[in-house]
Amino acid sequence: MKTNQTFDVVIVGNGVLGLSLALTLVRRKLRVALVGESNRPWAASTAAGAMLGCFGEVTSTLLKSKYGRLKHEFAVRAVGLWDDWLNELGDGLSIDDIRVADGTVVIHNTVGYSKIDDVNFEAIRKSLIEYNEQFEDINPADVKWLDPDSGSRPAKAIYIPNENAINSIKLLQDLEKSFITYGGTLITDSGIRIESNAGVVDALVLDSGERLISNKIVLAAGVKSQDLLDNIPDVAERIPRLVSGYGVSALVSTKDGTTPNSVIRTPNRAFACGLHLLPRSKGEVYIGATNVISPKVVDAPLIEDVIFLLECAHRQVRKDLSKGNINCIQVGNRPVSLDGFPLLGETDLNGLWIMTGTYRDGLTLSPYLSREMAKLICGEVADSDLEMFKPVRSPIQPLTRDEVIQETVEHMLATGYESDWRIPAGWHNLIEYNLHTEYEKFVKNFDSVYTPPAELLEASTKDRNILKMLYKYYNAVRQSELV
Ligand SMILES: Cc1cc2nc3c(=O)[nH]c(=O)nc-3n(C[C@H](O)[C@H](O)[C@H](O)COP(=O)(O)OP(=O)(O)OC[C@H]3O[C@@H](n4cnc5c(N)ncnc54)[C@H](O)[C@@H]3O)c2cc1C
């Protein structure tokens, strides 16, 4: 590569968001460099199923606040763009290879926790009706591929025909091909430092020592965007830090070579995106996914997470999955901000943009976010709703403190139920009461105003690093409010 090349825009990170934005910008005839290692270390995109989950992702908590409703709205808008987005990828690229599932079946079984599963299943139905989205109440016994353990069989199910899934690996390959065809510059390296001059960004320094010159740099390196931000602490301190929503998924060849036609999933539960299984390729299914908040990226799966995932799939979806072959166990790091919402827009350093923090549905959102971010970067009017998720901000607090505590307790209990625990008589209320009291005491001692989202609250009770991050960020926000 030539040294000190100049670009209109440099994008750091070659996951689905970086690639989608790079393609959108290069189609606008800008000179665009996209930086990332070809094996995509720590990426979320490669471990995703990936469901284009919109209504299936709805939870009662999501719809409680304007922020959550707006995120849902983003997903509705994004799903509406996917057909054109895939069609326009380019000649010779096969859309049929990318789209792998025909609709989604949401099952409601008794494995989960009533206060989460019952409520979220109804929230999904209600949202489908509200948006006038096509769906059908079906008898789970009619879903031929389903064959769960009898003790875990679903009592209800709905079929959402327009909620599909894609092969994320194929998508990344095709986005990359298309980017190159349009004249984009792919740089196989890592960005290690951002340089600025007189308050304006002017170069990205690569691991190789090369510098990419541009006054527009976009951080789209998923959870690792934080490493680059940490080199510019004044800019970083009022941006909610990124932590990893570490997740495990598996690719399994089925014993009889069959796969379902659609996604089969539960509602979101136990701090995760619900159990889901979908066809990946001939005779192969994708099983996802766990979600554990971690202060650092994780690159090897924990045995307990693999056991949990496979046990759930075999028990809740199809018994003979246990006779299949594991082709691959995948690990991904979802980019999760400290308030749980995306980071979208320009920072306090002129020309430094961020596009990450998409947590569980960055893949679904990618055509919409890349279109709108491209407009912002080009100085055009974009969807004003993105403003709500501008990166430099006070923590978004969609729920009251009591609601967060209640949600944390319920998801902890749901984790127990999904792990098939047996609670001795008389202990149900005691466990709930003690969890509630512990979390209440914890948040009260921690901060008088701000409360992190449920999964971060739970993680911060166990990991002092997360606690310190929250503390530092809340203090920085307070200091800036005093100025
Ligand atoms: C198990 C799992 C299942 C999921 N399922 C779904 C789903 O069904 N539907 C859905 O919509 N979403 C799903 N998600 C979430 C979704 O994958 C993410 O929201 C999305 O992929 C984030 O994309 P990204 O491009 O921002 O980040 P990433 O995919 O993490 O990509 C970041 C890229 O930046 C690169 N990078 C890191 N540091 C540097 C550096 N210094 N310089 C250059 N490059 C760098 C990384 O190697 C990586 O390739 C899932 C996530 C996981 C983990």
Residue 279: in which H helix or E strand, if any?
A: strand 276-281
Q: Is the CB of 364 under 6 A from ligand 1?
A: yes
Residue 40 CA to ligand 1 centre (angstroms): 9
Pocket test for ligand 1, best of 249, 361, 366, 368 (most atoms within 8 A of CB): 361
Give the start-to-end residue ranges of the domains of the chain. 102-159+243-337, 401-482
Q: Is the CB of 299 under 6 A from ligand 1?
A: no
Residue 244: in which H helix or E strand, if any?
A: strand 242-253
Residue 428 CA to ligand 1 centre (angstroms): 38
Q: What is the pLDDT of residue 96?
A: 76
Residue 223 CA to ligand 1 centre (angstroms): 8
Residue 335 CA to ligand 1 centre (angstroms): 7
What angle (nearest 5°) sits at the alpha carbon of residue 16, between those of residues 10 and 22? 30
Distance, CA of 115 to CA of 144 (rounded, Å)? 28
From residue 382, give the alpha-carbon distance in Å to each of 215, 344, 345, 347, 371.
20, 12, 11, 17, 9
Q: In what order do the strands lie in the sheet with 9-12?
A: 185-187, 32-35, 9-12, 217-219, 352-356, 343-346
Both structure tokens of 68: 């959550």
Distance, CA of 80 to CA of 300 (rounded, Å)? 35
Let me know how many helices (H) and strands (E) the chain has, helices first.
14, 21
Q: Is the CB of 331 under 6 A from ligand 1?
A: no
Task: Name the residue at shortest CA distance from atom 16 of ligand 1.
Answer: 362
Q: What is the pLDDT along the chain (483 residues), one digit of tens a residue?
A: 556 899 999 999 999 999 999 999 999 999 999 999 999 999 999 999 999 999 999 999 999 999 999 999 999 999 999 999 998 887 666 677 799 999 999 999 988 888 899 999 999 999 999 999 999 999 999 999 999 999 999 999 999 999 999 999 999 999 999 999 999 999 999 999 999 999 999 999 999 999 999 999 999 999 999 999 999 999 999 999 999 999 999 999 999 999 999 999 999 987 888 999 999 999 999 999 999 999 999 999 999 999 999 999 999 999 999 999 999 999 999 999 999 999 999 999 999 999 999 999 999 999 999 999 999 999 999 999 999 999 999 999 999 999 999 999 999 999 999 888 999 999 999 999 999 999 999 999 989 999 999 999 999 999 999 999 999 999 999 998 755
- Please classify residue 473 by burial: count the beta carbons closer than 10 Å to its beta carbon, then call 0-12 exposed, 13-18 middle and 19+ buried: buried
Residue 13 CA to ligand 1 centre (angstroms): 9
pTM over 0.75? The answer is yes
Both structure tokens of 144: 């031929």
DSSP for 182-198?
A: TT-EEE-S-EEEEEEET
Provide CATH code, domain 102-159+243-337.
3.30.9.10
Q: Which residues of 122-140 are buried (b: 16+ CB within 10 A; e: fewer)?
A: ebbbebbeeeebebeeeeb
Q: Which of 73, 74, 99 is nearest to 86 (CA)?
A: 99
Pocket test for ligand 1, best of 58, 225, 358 (most atoms within 8 A of CB): 358
Pocket test for ligand 1, best of 167, 175, 292, 363 (most atoms within 8 A of CB): 363
Please report which residue ranges of 52-186 form alpha helices under DSSP H. 66-79, 82-87, 95-98, 114-130, 168-181
Task: Name the residue at shortest CA distance from atom 1 of ligand 1.
Answer: 247
Per DSSP, the three-state class of 269 is strand
CA dihedral (250, 253, 259, 262) in degrees, to 10, reads 20
Residue with tokens 């109804």: 122
